[in-house]
Structure 1
Amino acid sequence: MEISGIISAIIIGVIIGILGRLLVPGRQHIGVIWTILIGIVAALIGSAIAAGVGVADTKGVDWIEWLIQIALAAVGVAALDRAKAHR
């Protein structure tokens, strides 16, 4: 992976993480770094799922891929928040 690909993954991960965090109701007790990491992981896994389903490469904006990634980020944020709340 080139440096431009890494930078793109970080930027997209930030956006996906923030959108996923906005979908989770209430206040989350996780930091910004965790949100970014969850967003990056959700973006990567969401891209793989979208490619597996066959909706990764469409004409125009890949809305279904974005929705998959944001949903995964929301699940990740909620799961980590619950895990931290039980400590």
Structure 2
Amino acid sequence: MAKQHPPYAVVLTYNEDLQQLIVHTVDPRKLAPLVAGRMGVVMADEDDFKLDDEFARQLGIGMLNTIALGQPSIKPYLSVSQYPVDRSHTEDGKDGD
């Protein structure tokens, strides 16, 4: 049986010196006082939300754009569409390439 992980929050940081994005896992109780009173964006709050490819794309772009506000040195590396991507589909329902 797979080991059960405790609940954790995910924090994304950008190290400018190393030009690396780093994903951290943090105990939500320890993170709570650090984010209290800070900007927060509620996502996926509809009753029928889907955590699909488009949601993941928008989440990632939002996170990168937020990092770029405070660390503009990452901007030259951003090459992403800010808007939903129009995906063409083949007749069998799979994404076309």
TM-score, normalised relative to structure 1: 0.36
More helix by share: 1
More strand by share: 2
**TM-score relative to the length of structure 2:** 0.33
Q: Which has the larger radius of gyration?
A: 2
